[in-house]
């Protein structure tokens, strides 16, 4: 596929971010690599379907960025902020805002910040009589990811379920708005016998807001926690991988031939290192 833009096609061809070739035959790909040897850019060879999809994904993301920026401009105008200044500040963050961060397929987002701040922004938009359709679609899209995960487990038609990861991301015990909580609740509601492994969420060690959240909102989940991988494996017919954690790597390395795996991270779990 080509990534040249009208008005700058010659420059784009001579200095592309990459040369992308879709080819299912390595020998043919090698010939194409030699053809583009004079182009100073990384040569990327992948399967035809992946390359075709990459082209559409690139343009869809460009369109999404334009729509996002325009909706932010609408909100800024309605709320009295300078849209150019706001986006200038936003673009200064090259670690998270303009980077690879959050651009890997996986499961739904959660936590105490993203859902809360998005709802606050949407409330401000409604108050200002602004209808940001892209922003308004984010939470429903996120909820659809949770439903997709629930359906994937139920489609196995197995009752005993082991879940790896309960907090909203690895390395934290924060369960507030974790997408794994409604997933577990839904599975229990459908009659599944669920056990959960998440070393970060030890009820005995929890304090403050996280302990109160469990005691007030999901007290029954504390009784479902497993302390080790083997107990989880002994219980489960289906293993749900909810986080790309070391525990997930260890669990996947120890599964038996009869275990069914539902990987909500979509392959993001790192393999165990040789040591």
In the chain the domains, ranked by start, together with CATH numbers, are 9-91 (no CATH), 142-263 (3.40.50.720)
- Euclidean distance between CA atoms 24 and 42, whole angstroms: 19
Predicted TM-score (pTM) of this structure: 0.89
| Residues that are catalytic | 113
Q: For 194-237, what is each residue's pLDDT tens digit?
A: 999 998 886 656 667 777 777 777 788 878 999 899 999 999 99
Helix, coil or strand: residue 263: strand
Q: What does the DSSP 8-state code read for residue 239?
A: E
Q: For 233-274, what is each residue's pLDDT tens digit?
A: 999 999 999 999 999 999 999 999 999 999 999 999 988 876
Q: What is the pLDDT of residue 94?
A: 97
How would you label 52-90 residue by residue, b for 16+ Cβ within 10 Å and e otherwise?
eebeeeeeeeeeeeeeebebbbbbbeeeeeeeeebbeee
Q: What is the pLDDT of residue 163?
A: 98
Joined tokens for residue 140: 């429903």
Q: For 51-78, what is each residue's pLDDT tens digit?
A: 999 999 999 999 999 999 999 999 999 9
Mean pLDDT of 71-94: 98
């Amino acid at each position: 596929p080509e990534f040249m833009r009208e008005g700058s096609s010659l420059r784009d061809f001579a200095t592309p971010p990459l040369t992308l070739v879709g080819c299912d035959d390595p020998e043919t790909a090698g010939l194409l690599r030699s053809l583009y040897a004079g182009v100073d850019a990384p040569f990327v060879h992948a399967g035809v379907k992946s390359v075709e999809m990459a082209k559409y994904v690139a343009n869809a993301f460009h369109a999404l960025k334009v729509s996002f920026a325009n909706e932010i401009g609408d909100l800024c105008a309605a709320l009295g902020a300078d849209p150019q200044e706001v986006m200038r500040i936003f673009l200064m963050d090259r670690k998270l805002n303009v980077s690879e961060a959050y651009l890997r397929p996986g499961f739904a987002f959660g936590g105490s910040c993203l859902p809360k701040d998005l709802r606050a922004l949407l409330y401000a938009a409604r108050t200002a009589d602004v209808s940001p359709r892209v922003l308004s679609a984010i939470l429903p899209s996120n909820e659809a990811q949770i439903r997709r995960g629930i359906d994937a487990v139920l489609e196995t038609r197995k009752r005993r379920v082991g879940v790896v990861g309960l907090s909203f991301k690895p390395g934290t015990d924060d369960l507030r708005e974790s997408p794994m909580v409604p997933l577990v609740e839904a599975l229990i509601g459908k009659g599944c016998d669920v056990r959960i492994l998440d070393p970060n969420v030890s009820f005995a060690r929890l304090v403050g807001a996280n302990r109160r959240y469990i005691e007030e909102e999901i007290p029954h989940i504390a009784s479902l926690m497993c302390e080790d991988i083997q107990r989880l494996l002994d219980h489960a017919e289906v293993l749900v991988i909810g986080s790309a954690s070391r525990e997930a790597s260890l669990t996947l390395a120890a599964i038996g031939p009869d275990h069914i795996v539902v990987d909500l991270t979509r392959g993001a779990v790192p393999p165990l290192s040789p040591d």
